Chains A and B, each alone.
Chain A
Amino acid sequence: GQNIDQPTEMTATEGAIVQINCTYQTSGFNGLFWYQQHAGEAPTFLSYNVLDGLEEKGRFSSFLSRSKGYSYLLLKELQMKDSASYLCAVILRGYGGSQGNLIFGKGTKLSVKP
C-alpha cells in the first residue's frame, strides 16, 4: 500500500523557523509536492522536488532524500499568515497516456503564535 506520514499539528512563534517533516513509502515515485491550505480554502502549490537536495523559494525551502523516503518543508521568518495546513503529496508515476496519481498525506496544521 501507499503510506505518507507527517505530523498532525505543530506550533511555532512568529519570526522563528519551523521544519515540517514528511516520510513516504509508495509503490512508485515521480516527485513530491508541498501544498499550503488555509482553512476553508483550496490547496495552493508551494514546491515540487523530483531530485535529491534542497529547493529554495523565498522564505520557503523543500528538501528531498529519495533513498530515505523523506522530505521536509522549511519555513523561515514565520508570519501569522503562515498559519495553515501543509500537505505533502507524492506522485507515483509520470505523465504519459495516463495520469499519474497524487497520494496525499493527512496534512500538518501549523499554528503561528505572536
Chain B
Amino acid sequence: DVKVTQSSRYLVKRTGEKVFLECVQDMDHENMFWYRQDPGLGLRLIYFSYDVKMKEKGDIPEGYSVSREKKERFSLILESASTSQTSMYLCASSPVGENEQYFGPGTRLTVT
C-alpha cells in the first residue's frame, strides 16, 4: 500500500515564526504536491514537484516555499507565518504515468 506521512497532525505556531511541514512517501513516486484546504474554498494547490530539486508554483504560492532534496521527501516552508495561513495542509504523491494522487493524513496548522 502507498503510504504518505506528514510530520504532525496538529501544529500551533505564532505569527512571524518560520514553519516547516514535512511530507514523506514510501512508494518511490516522482510527483509530490502540497495543498491547503479551507471551508468553502476546497482544496487549492500551493506547489508541486515532479522530480528532485524541481518545483513549480500552483494556484496560491504566495507566502510559501518548498524544498525537495530527496525523492521521498517534500517540505513546505512558511517563511513568516501569518494568521491567514491557518488551514489544513495536505500532501499528496503520484507516480509518473498515473493520474491518481495519494494523500497524507493532513496537518492542521493554527497560527496565532
Binding site for B on A (CB under 8 A): 30-31, 33, 40-45, 48, 87, 89, 91, 94-95, 97-107
Contact B90 A42 (CB under 8 A): yes
Say which residue of B31, B94, B99 sits within 8 Å of A94 (CB atoms): B99
A46 to chain B, nearest CB (A): 10
Say which residue of A42, A87, A95 sits within 8 Å of B104 (CB atoms): A42
User: What is the CA–CA distance of A103 and B33 in the complex, to the nearest angstrom?
Assistant: 12
Binding site for A on B (CB under 8 A): 4, 31, 33, 35, 40-45, 48, 50, 56, 58-59, 90, 94, 96-106
Known A-B contacts A42-B103, A42-B106; the reply to A99 vs B56 at CB < 8 A is yes
Contact B48 A99 (CB under 8 A): yes
Contacts of B105 in A (CB 8 A): 41-42
Contact A101 B45 (CB under 8 A): yes
User: What is the CA–CA distance of A99 and B90 in the complex, to the nearest angstrom?
Assistant: 17
Contact B42 A101 (CB under 8 A): no
User: What is the CA–CA distance of A37 and B99 in the complex, to the nearest angstrom?
Assistant: 18
The number of residue pairs between A and B whose CB atoms lie closer than 8 Å in the complex comes to: 59
Contacts of B94 in A (CB 8 A): 99
Contacts of A41 in B (CB 8 A): 105-106
- Show 24 A/B contacts (Cβ-Cβ < 8 Å), sorted by A: A33-B100, A40-B106, A42-B103, A42-B105, A43-B43, A45-B102, A48-B100, A95-B31, A95-B96, A95-B98, A97-B50, A98-B56, A99-B31, A99-B33, A99-B56, A101-B45, A101-B48, A101-B58, A101-B59, A102-B45, A103-B45, A104-B35, A105-B42, A106-B42
Contacts of B90 in A (CB 8 A): 42-43
Contact A100 B99 (CB under 8 A): yes
A34 to chain B, nearest CB (A): 11
Contact B103 A43 (CB under 8 A): yes
Contact B106 A106 (CB under 8 A): no
Known A-B contacts A106-B41, A107-B42; the reply to A33 vs B50 at CB < 8 A is no
B71 to chain A, nearest CB (A): 14
Contact B40 A106 (CB under 8 A): yes
